[in-house]
Structure 1
Amino acid sequence: MAQHGHHVASSQKALMLEMKSLQDEPVEGFKITLVDESDMYNWEVAIFGPPNTHYEGGYFKARIKFPVDYPYSPPAFRFLTKMWHPNIYENGDVCISILHPPVDDPQSGELPSERWNPTQNVRTILLSVISLLNEPNTFSPANVDASVMYRKKQVVGTKAEAERDGVKVPITLDEYCVRTLIPPTDDGSNLLYDDYYDDEELDDDDEEDNEDCCYDDSGTEDS
């Protein structure tokens, strides 16, 4: 029991120092408060969606829940706002390597160095969350549908660039074959038009997308 008391004292001290540091030098785009003034182990985070991302102008709430042996074990980070993002689970849990305990787990495809260690802190977590919103990892999605949507959105996002360059992107197979000098070959190089063809053939493509995103129900994923 004495051991437990020691953990609580040292983790509370660590958390108070971190809270002070974040108040003195805030991380851009975040507002942090305690859920309850008497409990250092539950933080509420408000995140402002980063400009030039799909989340621009958004206001998202999250909770960080710390274990009593923090910083030796990682906290849990969960969004309260419904998030549509490839690396955020339905229940709001965020899937980032640094929030995984530092056990050597060859199954996960993560190096122990990418996982939690006591030099990580709330600041590094917040920066990881922001970079996740900026650049989702669509190859190991926690939310398969969001990943498929996101990839389709990325394609849609390229259309403006094509217009700026005065390029008309072929949408249908017919247009593609007429306007493209290189005829599609049988060895798969006609995959070029798949991304654009996606919009027409949504249902067929979803099946394929789901298969190749290294996702399984046990919650492990490659990073």
Structure 2
Amino acid sequence: NGDLCISILHPPVDDPHSGELPCERWNPTQNVRTILLSVISLLNEPNTSSPANVDASVMYRRWKESNGADDEYAKIVRKQVEATREDAERDGVSVPLTLEEYCVKTVPRPSDDPCDALDLDDYYDYGDDDSDDEEEYEETGEDSGQGEN
């Protein structure tokens, strides 16, 4: 049905029956990135030995072990994907259908803040090219702090 069961979304209580440690559960350091990484991980490698939905786990294992010959699982997934696409379309959300569409590069919008336009890397010497360092020291007599004295 599309519901997810992810440890980091569970309250951080000590529940000996869950098989989860309190440190694997929700804490304030979780953010959108860590939650999405958990979802991606779950989608890539579902834990069929501790499923939230036993029927789905059995269907998934049958599909995987049959190399796709048992297609009950695949039919349900296709149906859910189509329903999600239709929901997105009704909501005016553009869903990428190809890898190229998914990986479209965005162009940053210009900002009204002049500080956003500064490239601070222009003001920092990374020391990639040491050839000018000695000349600069000799000309100015200043020490750059990079140990050339």
TM-score (norm 2): 0.43
Report which structure shows greater RCO (CA 8 Å, sep ≥6).
Answer: 1
Normalised by the length of structure 1, the TM-score is 0.29
Higher percent of residues as strand:
1
